[in-house]
Structure 1
Amino acid sequence: MLVSQGVDAAMAGVLGLMIGSFLNVVIYRLPKMLERQWAAECASLADGDAAAAPAVEPFNLMVPHSRCQQCGHVIRWYENVPVLSYLALRGRCSSCKASIGLRYPVVELLTGALFAWCVWRMPGQYGALAWCAFAAALLALALIDWDTTLLPDDITLPLLWGGLLASIAGFTGVPLAHAVWGAVAGYVSLWAIYWLFKLTTGKEGMGYGDFKLFAAFGAWFGWQALVPIILMASVIGVVVGLALKFSSGLREGGYVPFGPFLAAAGFTAMIFGPDAILRAVGL
């Protein structure tokens, strides 16, 4: 039994490496796709005619082929094998020898480890796949938000609905009523904090994407998990924020996106359970 489970986990890990390679594409391209979409909409509104918007080359998750950002070298299939290609190329473009970011293999390895863990620990084949999808979406959201301060609806909303469907299917162990109220409470609670902060200070402390991500956590973990998750996210945020401040790593304006800390708390809840978070913070 353990041998079979180990084989399944290993196969899931290999699948996770491949999905991680795709996540690197999503993390880089999805924000740019949204920016292009917004620019086209603004141009069409300004001109009063959608047909007047300038034509641009297709740019989505499939086309064009991945290229070196320095020299434009088209990455061949054998240069895109998860982790192995990075090691074989010694972290450099085969054409111009520009450095390839370490994030690429790290995302692949992390996705592989998460997939292997889900298959090893989560009950049921389909339930494990559901949690693999949760982990992949959450990892992509965390890195997109860190890079751009965006939490795209293209990922947050499917993640929310996926949690409700997973509850119906019995994959999460959360009753549907708890999942629905968790989604409602997750959104409304951060929405209320947002407006309280804005009315008090005149500033926006977070974005609407944070509301939707927290609502998704309510759907996946139930309303009871929301307090532990927000506590953990806040603690992680304070620690990282102070570290960046003292190391002069804060961006211009001194802001730090909250989504990555929510994601870290979500992973903590997935791996250790929401109750473990409360114990960790002494409650």
Structure 2
Amino acid sequence: MLISPVFDAALGGVFGLLVGSFLNVVIYRFPKILERQWDQECAELSGTPLEPQPELTLARPRSRCRQCGHMIRWYENIPVVSYLALRGKCSSCAAPIGIRYPLVELATGALFFFCIYTGGVTPHALAWCGFSAAIVALAMIDWDTTLLPDDITLPLVWAGLIVAALRWNNLRLTDALWGAIAGYMSLWLIYKGFKLLTGKEGMGYGDFKLFAALGAWFGWQALVPIILMASVIGAVVGIAMKMSSSLREGGYVPFGPFLAGAGLTAMIFGPASILEVVGL
């Protein structure tokens, strides 16, 4: 009886590996695309022409080695397998390939496997696969750049509300709606209070939108467990980085990856289990 569910989940996992490979492109290129758009808008407002730049989209140009410019062939871009076959090095110049690339692929594949295995090939499971992919991309982009792009966070909010409206996740639409509202407003109020007291900005608006998205997907009842877990893990990681002198310039740690991690934990184990993890 388990052969079919496991087979379906395995296929889902393989598809997740492919999606993870694409997410690596999104994580690296999308912030650069946004920066170009912002530079273009600033240039138009100031009347200062920009120098022509090479085309950059998620599809073009083809992936290349950052060191030598070697164009990556299709058989060098098979998720995980190519990394192992190349022993983590460029086939042309032997420059090391970051371990993060196969880890993102494996994480996405594992999340897709979990969603299909627990939910079957259903709209419910496929929706959570999409949620997982978006969360992985947001976590990594925020860690690299401290950006949580509206192009991902806002569709994630709407997707959560639509999924609830279609009853694909056993969540009432009213709970999802109030989850989105409470998620956004709670962090916005904390942000405003912190700024009034210190004159500094403690977080970005992207964090509000990501928390709103988590509220839309899990309901308002899950917001307290999620923010508790994100805060505890964020504090532990921040202290560890400070003690090891590995904090980036300005001494900050982006909060988005910890919100994302708490969201994935809630998806896998359920929001209530988070309270047990943090000891409440």
Same fold (TM over 0.5): yes
Q: How far off is 1:124 after superposition?
A: 5.6
| C-alpha RMSD over aligned residues | 1.1
Aligned match of 1:18? 18
- Residues 1:133 and 2:111 are matched in the alignment: no
Distance 2:18 2:120 in 1: 23
Q: How far off is 1:53 after superposition?
A: 4.2
1:46-103 Cα shifts (integer Å, max 9, x gaps): 107xxx4443322110001001001111111011000111111111111111000000
- 5+ residue gaps, structure 2, are none
- Contact kept? 1:168, 1:176, Cα under 8 Å: yes
Report % sequence identity. Answer: 68
Distance 1:89 1:124 in 2: 34
- Alignment length, in residue pairs? 280
- Contact kept? 1:145, 1:151, Cα under 8 Å: yes
Normalising by structure 1, report the TM-score. 0.97
Aligned match of 2:93? 96
Q: How far off is 1:280 after superposition?
A: 2.1
Distance 2:113 2:96 in 1: 29
Moved more, 197-206 or 167-176: 167-176
- Contact kept? 2:17, 2:79, Cα under 8 Å: yes
Moved more, 37-46 or 21-30: 37-46
Distance 2:54 2:243 in 1: 44
- Residues 1:251 and 2:248 are matched in the alignment: yes
- Contact kept? 2:5, 2:117, Cα under 8 Å: yes
Q: What secondary structure is seen at the aligned counterpart in 1 of 2:137? A: helix
Aligned pair in 2 of structure 1 residues 196, 123: CA closer, same or farther (>3 Å)?
farther
1:39-58 maps to which residues of 2 (within 5 A)? 39-47=39-47, 52-58=49-55
- Residues 1:163 and 2:173 are matched in the alignment: no
Q: How far off is 1:262 after superposition?
A: 0.4
Q: How far off is 1:279 after superposition?
A: 2.1
Distance 2:278 2:192 in 1: 27
Distance 2:120 2:186 in 1: 31
Q: How far off is 1:148 after superposition?
A: 0.3
Q: What secondary structure is seen at the aligned counterpart in 1 of 2:101? A: helix
Normalising by structure 2, report the TM-score. 0.98
Distance 1:72 1:158 in 2: 34
Distance 2:121 2:20 in 1: 23
Distance 2:263 2:36 in 1: 30
Distance 1:122 1:176 in 2: 20
Aligned match of 1:143? 140
